[in-house]
Each structure stands twice: as structure tokens, then as C-alpha cells.
Amino acid sequence: MEGKEDKTTLHPHQTRGKSSGTEEKSFKRMAPSNSSQVGRVRQLILECFEML
């Protein structure tokens, strides 16, 4: 499941579209440098999946 989650990380961001447009760019920039940011984004993604 972890492997699948890594691949689906972009899907919830893409489905949101408008607000994620700028957030996705900053997320991709900070992801490699800030591991804490990745954890936060993962929690957001999990919440998105729960809403779906």
C-alpha cells in the first residue's frame, strides 16, 4: 500500500486544481529539502482519500 500511496500522492492535488496549482509547485520545491513538509502533505492526502 505504501508504494501505491507514493504514486497517488499527485492525484489528490491534481483533482483539486485551482488551489493546488500553486500549492503543488511549492510542494514539489520543498518536498526534497523539507521532509517534515512531506509528512504534512501525506496527512493532507490521507484526509483527501477519507473524503473521497
What is the band of 3 on the pLDDT scale with cuts at 50, 70, 90?
Answer: low
Is pLDDT of 1 > 60? no
Place of cell 473521497: 52
Confidence (pLDDT) at 8: 52
* Mean of pLDDT over the chain: 64
Q: Residue 43: is its pLDDT beyond 80?
A: yes
> Considering the entire predicted model, what is its pTM?
0.30
Closest by CA position to 34, among listed 15, 42, 14: 42
Residue 20 has pLDDT above 70, yes or no: no
> How many Å apart are CA 44 and CA 46, to the nearest integer?
5
